[in-house]
């Protein structure tokens, strides 16, 4: 594999274990103040480090996302390492919600300008492995910039936990995080911020399913055209 092929993996979280602080003492606002042992993603980490030297102006290569384990016993650390080293299957599969959050983080990191806006869109497209003008990307761009962003994230988290009204888990989702049908949010994003908020709160309060939310959006749109 050519080293440049690891560029996409800059967005894949590392699996790390905190080795100089307890779980209770860990502070997310000071992540660079700790030492970590990499359990999963060592090869891509090495490649991305080398790529950051090759492309010093690529800000996407200057930091990495990570799933942090803390407070593990020595036996648990060995078990975690064993699972990864012997199966090479211990990875963290990012959900749609994870990717939306990463796009939001990228947007907040960048100064506002037409040039950086274009860079941000391309960065998000790489994270989601989508074309910039795809339906998925339009949904992501709308959610990330919405005044109701936190409500969308809460709905995604609720769906990921299988707690949305009338939600039925597929057999393939029993051992993984359910993926929310995000394209259903495309038309909802065309509503006013207040209307979006009302629909999202109904889902969060357990009053509406994702399907019912979409039907309610269609009804609101129909009423506006009358």
Listing DSSP states for 39-58 in one string gives: EE-HHHHHHHHHHHHHSTT-
Q: What is the C-alpha to C-alpha distance for residues 96 and 153, in angstroms, rounded to an integer? A: 10
List, in sequence order, every residue forming a beta bridge with 49; answer none if it has no partner. none
| Whether 137 contacts 130, CB under 8 Å | yes
The continuous run of DSSP H or E covering 37 comes out as: strand 36-40
Pairwise pLDDT comparison (155 vs 119), residue with the higher score: 155
Q: What is the C-alpha to C-alpha distance for residues 222 and 26, in angstroms, rounded to an integer? A: 51
pLDDT per residue as tens digits for the range 13-57? 777 888 877 778 888 788 888 888 887 777 677 777 777 777 777
Average pLDDT, the chain: 80
pLDDT per residue as tens digits for the range 86-128? 544 445 567 788 888 888 887 887 777 777 788 888 888 877 8
| Whether 122 contacts 140, CB under 8 Å | no
pLDDT score for 160: 85
pTM of the model: 0.62
CA distances, 135 to each of 124, 128, 131, 209 (Å)? 13, 12, 9, 22
Annotated domain spans of the chain:
3-87, 96-225
Q: What percent of the chain has pLDDT over 70?
A: 81
The two three-digit tokens of residue 211, written as one number:
């399907």
Q: How many CA atoms lie within 13 A of 151 on its CB side?
A: 19
Q: What is the C-alpha to C-alpha distance for residues 193 and 120, in angstroms, rounded to an integer? A: 23
């Amino acid at each position: 594999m050519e080293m440049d092929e690891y560029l996409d993996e800059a967005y894949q979280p590392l699996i790390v274990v905190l080795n100089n602080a307890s779980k209770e003492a860990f502070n997310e606002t000071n992540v660079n103040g700790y030492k970590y042992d990499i359990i999963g993603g060592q090869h891509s980490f090495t490649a991305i480090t080398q790529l950051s030297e090759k492309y010093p102006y690529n800000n996407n290569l200057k930091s990495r996302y990570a799933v942090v384990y803390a407070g593990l016993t020595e036996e648990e650390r060995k078990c975690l390492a064993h699972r990864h080293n012997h199966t090479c299957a211990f990875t963290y599969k990012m959900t749609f919600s994870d990717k939306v959050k990463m796009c939001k983080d990228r947007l907040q990191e960048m100064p506002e300008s037409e040039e950086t806006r274009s860079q941000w869109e391309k960065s998000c497209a790489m994270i989601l492995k989508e074309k910039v003008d795809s339906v998925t990307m339009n949904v992501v761009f709308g959610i990330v910039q919405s005044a109701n962003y936190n409500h969308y994230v809460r709905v995604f988290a609720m769906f990921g936990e299988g707690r949305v009204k009338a939600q039925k888990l597929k057999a393939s989702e029993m051992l993984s995080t359910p993926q929310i049908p995000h394209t259903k949010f495309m038309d909802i994003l065309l509503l006013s911020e207040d209307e979006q908020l009302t629909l999202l709160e109904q889902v969060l309060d357990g009053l509406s399913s994702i399907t019912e939310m979409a039907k309610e959006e269609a009804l609101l749109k129909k009423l506006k055209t009358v």
